[in-house]
Structure 1
C-alpha cells in the first residue's frame, strides 16, 4: 500500500536516485576526503585536484577518462563537473565553487 503513496514529482525521483548513489558509494567504502588547503578553482594544480577528480568521477559528474586522468590541473572539464554537481542534488562539502 505504501508504494502507491510515492510522490509522482520528478524531483522526488531524482532525490531518491541521488540517495541510492550515495548509499552505494558508502557501502563501497566511501571516498577519501579532500585534504584542507587553498581554494580549488580553475587553473590551480596539485594532488588535491586528483582527489577532486576521483570524487567527481564517483558521483558521475566527471567522465571516467577525466576522472582517471593523472593530471593535477583543475581544468575546464573539472570546472564543468563541479558546476554540474553544485547545481544538482549533490553537494560537495569540502570545497567552494568560485
Structure 2
C-alpha cells in the first residue's frame, strides 16, 4: 500500500502543478504556459485511463497483478490487450471453486 500512497501523492502534486500552470497562463497573457498546462493535463488524463487495469488489479488485490501490469504496459495502447488486462484484473478466482 505504500506504493499506492506515493502514487496518489505524486498524482495530486502533478495535478496541482498543471492547475497552477493553467491559471498562470490563463490570467497572465502567456499562452505558451497555458498550452503546456493543457498538454500536462491531457497526459495525466490519458495516462490514468491507460493504467486503469493495473491500478484496478492493485486495488482489488489480484493475484495476477504482474501479468496485468505487463499486458497493460506492453499492449495496453491497443484496445483488445487493454480489455484483456481489465478482464484479468477483475477476474474472481473464488467464484470458480466447484459447487
The TM-score with structure 2 as length reference comes to 0.31
Q: Which has the higher contact order (CA 8 A, sep 6+)?
A: 1
When Rg is computed on C-alpha atoms for both structures, the one with the higher figure is 2
Greater fraction of residues in helix = 2
